[in-house]
Structure 1
Amino acid sequence: MMLDPAVVAAWVEASCASQGVPVRVTDPGVLARVGVLMGAAPGTDGRGSGRSTAAAS
């Protein structure tokens, strides 16, 4: 089943608006915590490069 990207984007925007959260998260601390929750090794940038978040800043 193919999903129309425009329909998905509209759903994400509406869902985020109804919950009062931004569509995009840019806070490095939040992104690091989400990465840990998703199984990324702490201290990496989450892209598998092995670089630390400190080195990437």
Structure 2
Amino acid sequence: MGWDYRKSVKVGPLRFHLSRHGVSRSYGGRRFHVYRTPDGRRHVTVRLPGGFHIGKTF
């Protein structure tokens, strides 16, 4: 079994996620959220009423 580490720090509207893979960042609210991974990919999620959500990775 491998090891893992995760820590989140909120600075204003941004949230930084520290892990053994690197530093990622995210921002947004409950309905719209953008997340950038340590390797540079961007994931956008939009949550709609009724439990529906749409996500796209760039």
- TM-score band w.r.t. shorter chain: under 0.3
Q: Which has the larger radius of gyration?
A: 1
Give me the TM-score of the superposition, normalised by structure 1. 0.25
Instruction: Report which structure shows greater RCO (CA 8 Å, sep ≥6).
Output: 2
- Structure number having the greater helix percentage: 1
